[in-house]
Chain A
Amino acid sequence: MSTAIDDILQRRENAALVILTLGNFEVFVNGEKVPAKEWKRDKSVQLLQFMLMARNRKAMHKEQIMDRLWEDEMDDQGFKVALHGINKALEPKRKSHTDPTYIERIGHTYRLTTENIWIDSVAFEALISLANKNIHDNSTLAIRAYQEAMLLHKGQFLPDRIFEDWSSDERERLQLMFLNASISLAELLLSRNPAESIQICQEALLVDVAWEDAYRIQMAAFFSRGNRPMAIKTYKVCEKVLWEEMALKPLPETRKLYEEIVRSE
């Protein structure tokens, strides 16, 4: 079954076009990074980013794309220029009057082809999906799949577009996926490798400081390593953060664990 993980990762080696979206935006064609200056216009980058985000939908009409990305600030000519910018950056040696390899056009609709392309956020999601399916029956596989997914997650989705509406839903979806996967992995590792469990919880808390599950697992992990003071300190931080951010107390489950740790002296 671990071949399923390898398959997801190895597709990167075989893909002609590799796009990184998590933590940074980078594009590689046949292993070579496309330099920033090759894009010429930011609108070309935006258009490619939008198309990769919408890759699983049916091809989108040009008007739909323009409306979603730029409202009415872009005309047909501007769209054409932005599209040309993508094709030029990805295939600088393509002969004129030949179809682009990566952007498919059918009438007035466009989409990014799904073949021969590897996108980190797609692989991230596939690994998490694989881990979730195996979490009860094959925890070893689930752990490895989660770990590989965590390695791909170098930060939030398209960080250069955080103030732009069109990328928000995908960013939120992936961030939630990351938080839930972190908690699942940290729980799986609690008895096998508490130090790694702690580290994963800390990474989740960097994304959302009020994610209570991450505090609770961290407390259990510190305690299992014999570090009672840190377990207690973690609870105190959790209590403070939840109160300051949401005027809430920790959940009974967290309080119960804290009381057990305190009583254990």
Chain B
Amino acid sequence: MSADLLHEADANQARASDPKASAWVSANAGTGKTEVLVKRTLRLLLDGARPESILCLTYTKTAAAEMQNRLLKELAAWATMPAAELQTKLAKLMGRPPEDQDLSGARRLFARALEARGGLKIHTIHGFCERLLQRFPLESAVTPHFTVLDDRDAALLKRSAFDTVVARAAEDRNSMLGRALDTIITVAGEEYFRQVVDTVLGKRAELDRMAAYHDGLTEWAEAEGAALKQLFGVAEDTEDALVAELASVLSDSEIDAALSAFASFGSTTDDARTEEGLRGAKGSTGEARAAALKAAFLTADGNPRARVVSAASRRTRRNLPRHWPPPEPRGRTRH
């Protein structure tokens, strides 16, 4: 059985390392992924690809170094191996018996790989990007000998930028920045806001894209607002309007119907709370009604209650829907 598994593994590796196929390989640690990559590169080189024309990208510098070392080790062995051994190796790799030029070509690969123009291109993704930027200083608008900012310096720069902007906002409270700051301080302390800014900075590419899609940040904010309103089925967004809408969610007759339904089926704590809320709402108006309905259908945090009607009651009375009425919009107020 295990021989079969090995055979299968070998076959999979062979398929994955076939340079003619584009492949996506997923495997557990230690099962030979690097091996597959090395084999694939070797086969490419044997097929006649120039070492300079192969690009390997890895995530870590360790992986890049490891890959390069394994590749060169194999090629070094080929250069000086006795002919018979080399033949077997190549046969296994190429899937066919090697010809004379294959053998001599294989022997030369070591030197060719070592002397590849610009070195073997096995880089980390970051390294590759850095090289690109260095190669095209005018297009990337970066001077050729730049250094990459490390995390600590980046944090210091961000901090200083944050302080500058915040100071400017504080200076002129009527400017756009000042008004934005006024909005922020009502809901956030400085630490939390700093974290928010950090997160936003991390996603600024996406933000730019969205803003461009909507022709601008303000337009986008408005579009988002409209979309949210639509999602929650809310027409207004002033506090009074919300309260009024909340209050009008159930009419008195509907409340009566619900109360009578509860009355006939007894109640658990869930039901009792709903009942109490409904009773409080009936006959009252405006804020009081809204508050009573809130108590009936929402938890203290403003989220919809998981169970408005207890399971037992629902079982016995089928046409009481599980979640009614529709969930409230959680407006900017504390209501």
Same complex: no
**Which residues does A use to contact B, with CB under 8 Å?**
none
